[in-house]
Amino acid sequence: MRYRLTFVAGLALGYVLGTRAGRERYEKLKKSAREIAQNPAVRNTVESATQQGRDVAGKAFHTVSEKVGDRVPDSVSDRVRSLRERGQGSGEDDWGTSNT
């Protein structure tokens, strides 16, 4: 019960402080986040990490499919196949970055 009370008190305090900061502070934070996201160094790092994640996921997919083989239900293998095909379709992902 003590932790719940602490959580609720922290939530209330955050709400009060957040509303006092107001819309102006929110817009300022949003502008800063947008500037950081549009920075070429940040974008390159994100794209590199994305590509590495795709490579690791591809290797994991092959390793798992070799070990699991035909024991996976058809519904699961069809779903995985459709997700893989969808991911290889366009040149951009949902975030507007290239799939290189």
Please tell me the total count of domains within the chain.
1
Residue 95 is predicted with a pLDDT of 57
- For the record, the structure tokens of 55 come out as 């490579």
Alpha-carbon gap, residue 17 to 20, rounded angstroms: 5
Determine which helix (DSSP H) or strand (DSSP E) holds 85, and give its type and residue range: helix 74-87
pTM flag (> 0.75): no
76-95 pLDDT tens trace: 878 877 887 876 655 555 55
Residue 91 is predicted with a pLDDT of 52
State which residues form the domain around 23.
Answer: 2-66
12-60 pLDDT tens trace: 888 877 777 777 877 887 899 899 989 999 999 999 999 999 899 888 8
Asked if residue 22 is part of any domain, the answer here is: yes
Asked if residue 43 is part of any domain, the answer here is: yes
